[in-house]
Structure 1
Amino acid sequence: MTQKIEGLAKDFIARGLSRRDFGKRAGMLGVSAAAVNLALGAAATDAMAADFNWQAHKGKKLRLLLDKHPYADAMIADLPHFKAMTGIDVEYDIFPEDVYFDKVTAVLSSHSNRYDVLMTGAYQTWQYGPATWLVDMKPYLNDATKTSPSYDFNGIIANLRQSDAWSGVPGEALGSANAKQWAVPLGFELYNISYNKRIFDKLKIEPPKNLPDMIEIGSKITKDAGGAYGVAVRGSRSWATIHPGYLSAYTNYGAKDFDVSGSKLTSAVASTESKEMNKLWVEMIQKAGPKNWATYTWYECAQDLGAGRCGMIYDANIIGFFENSPGNKESGDIGYAAFVPNPKMTHSTSNVWIWSLAMSSFSKEKDASWYFIQWASGKNFGIYGGVKQKLVDPVRNTTWKDPAFKARLDKDYAGFYEAFERSLPDAKIYFTPQPLFFNVTTEWAAMLQRMVAKQVTVDAGLEKLAAHIDHEMRSAGI
C-alpha cells in the first residue's frame, strides 16, 4: 500500500492525476489523511529538490489579497500542490473587482502587514511602487539562493515582464535598465474582436478589418439583426474605458497620450492623429453601440456577447473565451478575429491588461512570498492553469507551445489561437508611465462621454481635455 500511495502522490505532483482522482484512489486504498499529506510532501520534495530547496520555508504561513477572477480561481484550485511542494500554508481573502482596488490601496497606504502577496495591474504599480508600498523583485530574481534555476523569468513574454517594471521617473520607458520589477505577470488580456457567428452568418457578413469597416458592419447589425446592436465597447466614466479597445485603436492611428521632453510631459490628445481616430470612434458608438453605452464596463460587454445582445465586442480577447464556455446562451457561437483599426496599417497595436502578483513591503514573510510568486508565475502552474483552468491568456511561451493547451483551444475555441498569434508581437502597454494615470484617464473617459453625447465637438473636446491634462501635470510638477 505504501508504494501505491507514493505512486499516486508522484502522479499528482506531476499532474498525471487530477485532485479529484487522487482523492478517490487514495480513499479506495483506505489511506488516512496524515498518510496522504506525508506522501504528497515526499513526492513534492523529491520532484523539486534536484535543483532547488523548495522546503526552505516549511511551516510558514502566507496571506493573499485576491481579485475575484478566473486567474485567482486557478491559483486557489492548485494551492494543494504549492503546499505539498513547499510546506507553506496559504490563506486568502478575495473581493469583487468593483471594490478590490480600493481595498488594496487602503491596505497598502495604511502600511498593514495583513497581506503578503496581492494581485495588481501594472498601472496600479505606478502609484504603489514609487510610494515604496511594494517590493522591487529584481534582487530576488538575481539571487540564485532564492530563485529556482528552472524558473526562467525570461520565459515570460518580454513585453509583459517589461510592462511590470518602471523606474518611477515620469515618462521613462517601461522595462528600462534602471526599472524596478514591481510585479510579475500572472495572466493577461489583449484586445481583439469576439463576434457572434450566428448573427454574422444570418446577415452574411464577415468580421470587420478596420475601424471604418466596423462602423459599417456594426450599423448593419443594429439595423438588420432583429434586436441585437452592432458593437459593445466600454463607456463608463473610468480609466477602464480608455485602456482596452479605445487605446489600441488610438495607438494604431499613430496617436500618443503624451509628448515627452526630458522630465516634461505634454498632452498629445489633441493631435491630428487623435482627432481622426476619435471622430471614427464616436461615430461607431453613435451608430452601432448600445443605447446606454456610458454605463458600460467589462461586465456589460461580456454579458451582451454571451446573451446574443450584440454582434461583436472590441474588448478583451479573454471575454470571448469565457463567454464561449459551456452554460452560456451563445456557447459555441463565438468567433475570434484579429483587428487592425487603421486601414493604412498592416498590424495591430493592442494595449494589454496584465494581472500580476506583487509583494507588500510590509510583509513579514518576504522570502516565503517570493516562493509563492515564482511558483504561481512558473512553467508548471502556467500549463496547469491553461489546460485545466481558465488561466487564459497565459504569460509564458511554454504554455502557448504546449500541445495540450493548443488542443484545448482548437477543440472548443476555434480561431482563438490564430487571432492571438497575429496580435501578440506588438501587444504591450502603450500608455506613458506617470503617477497621475488614473486622474488623466478618468477625465479622458468623461470627455469621451461628452463627445458621444454631442455636448461638445470632437475637436473642441480634445482641445479642452489637453489643456486640462497639461494643467494637472504642471500642478504636480511634471
Structure 2
Amino acid sequence: MVATGCSGAGALFGDSDRQITVAMVSNSQMQDAVELSGQFTEETGIDVKFVTLSENEARAKITASVATGGGEFDVVMISNYEAPMWGEYGWLVDLTPYMNDSPGYDADDFVPTLKSALSYDGNMYAAPFYGESSFLMYNKKLLADKGVTLPADPTWPQVAEAAAKLDTDNVSGICLRGKPGWGEVMAPLNTVINAFGGRWYDEDWNAQFDSPEVRDAVQFYVDTVRKYGQPGAPSSGFQECSNLLAQGQTAMWYDATSAVSVLENEDESSIAGDVGYLPAPSMAKGGNGWLYTWALGIPTSSDKHDDAWKFIEWMTSKDYMNYVVEKKGPESVPPGSRLSTYEIPEVKEVSAPYSEQMLSAMNAADQSRPTLRPVPYEGIQFLAIPEFQDLGTRVSQQISAAIAGQITVDEALDQSQKYAEVVGESYQEESQ
C-alpha cells in the first residue's frame, strides 16, 4: 500500500485538525488529482491523506474496509459495480442531499447512464470522477503503412484478420488484457462473450460456460492474443496496453475509452493526433461497449461526512475540469463524466477525434440488457451480484492461465463452469 500525503498532514499549508483519508486507484487522472489537491486544502483548510493503490489492490482493500465498517477511509473510489449494492446495504452515505444543497454542482450534468448506474432507489451513492465505455483504438500510421483498413463497424474476425497482417517481431498486432482480475481480463472478455451471443447464466441461473457461444468467444480471445498479442500478455492490464499503443509497440488495442487521456497527450504518447477510434467490435450482437466509472463515495463508517463531501464536490465539479485544463492541459481532463466538459473550448478541440464515439457508446450502454438472450443479472462487463468479485476473479485466473498456455481453453471453461454452478445454485434455491 502506497500512502501519498501530497496535500495532507500539514505538509504544504501548516498543521490542521481537519484531515480526511481518501483511498483511490493509482491511474493517471487520479495522480493528477493528488498533485492538484493543494488547491482544495488551501480553499477549505482540510488536509488530505491519499492512499493510492493498483486496481486489484484498491478493490480488495476498499471492499474489506467498507464491508466491515473499518472506518479508516473517509472517501473511497469505487465503481458502478459497488455503488448501487453498497447503497442498498447501507454502507454508503446518500450523496443526493449533498448534491442538491451544493450551488452550481449540477448533478444533472453527469452523463445520464452514469448517473443511473451509480444510483439506488433513485438516489446517487457515488459521484463519477470519470466515465468510460469501450472502443477499438488503432495506430493510423501503422495501418496505413501496411495497407490495412477496418470497416466503420468491425466484427471480431475482421479485427483478428487485421491483427495478423499488422503483427511483426517488433510490433504486436493487437493488445488485449490478460491480467487476472474481474476488472482486468474479464472486462474486455465479457464484452466479447456478449458479442458472440454468450452469457454467464440463462434465465434460470444455469451456468453457461459449457455453451458453444461462450466457448467460441473465449477460444477466439485466447487465440487472438496468443497469436498476435503483446509479449507478457498474461500479466498485461490497462496500463501495460496503454503504454504499448502510446509508444507505437502495438497496432491496435480494444479497451476503455478513458485511454484517450494518455493517447492524445503529446507528453505521454508518441502517436497523439494519429489515433483512430472504432466501436466495440460486434458479432451476433452489436453495441457491445461497456459502461464503467471510477467514482467517489463516503462510507457510513466515516465520522467526517461533511468534510468528505467537500472533497468529492471539489474533485467531481465543473470547476475542477477547468482547473485541470489550466494546470495540466485539456488532454488530461477526466473524460466521460460531465457533458459540459466537452463544451470547454480547449477540450472540445482536442477531443474532436473521439468525443462523439465515446459519448454515443456511453449513452447506448444498457446494463439491464447486456446480452443477446435474456439473463437474470445486470451489468455489461461485470455481473451486478455480490458474488461476482470472487467468481469473476476465479474465472479470470483460469482465462489468464489459458492465455499463458498453462491450461487449455476447455480446461479453463470446465473449471469456470464449476465455479459458476455453485453461485447459480444459490440463486436457484432462493427462487424455490
TM-score scaled by length of structure 2: 0.79
AA at the equivalent of 2:223: E
| Counterpart code for 1:151 | Y
How much does 1:385 deviate?
3.5
Q: 1:360 to 1:376 in 2, by over 3 A?
A: same
Distance 2:283 2:75 in 1: 44
Give the CA deviation at 1:127: 6.9
Q: Would you say the 8 A contact 1:219–1:230 is kept in 2?
A: yes
Which structure 2 segments of 5+ residues have no match? 1-12, 368-378
Counterpart of 1:116 in structure 2 is: 74
Instruction: Please state if 1:423 is matched with 2:361.
Output: yes
Partner SS state of residue 239, structure 1: coil
Q: Flag structure 1 segments of 5+ consecutive residues without an equivalent.
A: 1-36, 38-57, 167-177
1:302 is the counterpart of 2:302: no
Cross-structure match for 1:20: none
> Is the partner of 2:138 in helix, strand or coil?
strand
Residue 223 of structure 2 corresponds to which residue in structure 1? 283
1:443 to 386, 394, 416: 394
Q: Hey, what's the Cα distance between the residues in 2 that align with 1:305 and 1:152?
A: 36
> AA paired with 1:424?
M
Write the letter of the residue equivalent to 1:325: N
Between the aligned partners of 1:196 and 1:467, the Cα distance in structure 2 is 40
Q: CA–CA distance in 2 between the matches of 1:437 and 1:365? A: 30
Bigger radius of gyration: 1
Give the number of aligned pairs.
395
C-alpha contact (below 8 Å) 2:174/2:225 kept by paired residues: yes
Q: Runs (4+) of structure 1 moved beyond 6 Å?
A: none
Deviation at 1:230, TM superposition (A): 0.8
Change beyond 3 A, Cα 1:252–1:300 = same
Identify if the C-alpha distance between structure 1 residues 226 and 422 changes in structure 2 by more than 3 Å, giving closer, same or farther: farther
> 2:341 is matched with which residue?
399
Report the residue type matching 1:150 in the other structure: G
Q: Is the 8 A contact 1:60 1:89 kept in 2?
A: yes
CA RMSD, aligned part only? Answer: 3.2
Aligned residues of 1:62 and 1:88 also touching (Cα < 8 A): no
Alignment of 1:138-287 (within 5 A): 138-141=96-99, 144=100, 147-166=101-120, 178=121, 181-207=124-150, 209-222=154-167, 225-260=168-203, 265-287=205-227
Q: Percent identity?
A: 18
How far is 1:211 from its partner?
0.5
Q: Secondary structure in 2 aligned to 1:229?
A: coil
CA contact (8 A) 1:156 1:395 kept: yes
Q: What do residues 366-386 of structure 1 show as CA deviations (whole Å, max 9, x unaligned)? A: 123223323322222234346
Equivalent-residue separation in structure 2 for 1:59 and 1:255 (angstroms) = 54
SS of structure 2 residue aligned to 1:354 = strand
Q: What's the secondary structure of 1:122's corresponding residue?
A: coil
Tell me the distance in 2 between the aligned counterparts of 1:241 and 1:61: 33
Q: Does the aligned pair in 1 maintain the 2:185–2:396 contact within 8 Å?
A: yes
1:376 aligns with 2:291: no
Q: What are the superposed Cα offsets for residues 157-186 of structure 1, whole Å, 9 maximum, x if unpaired?
A: 1211222234xxxxxxxxxxx366332211
- What is the alpha-carbon distance in structure 1 between the residues aligned to residue 62 and residue 258 of structure 2? 24
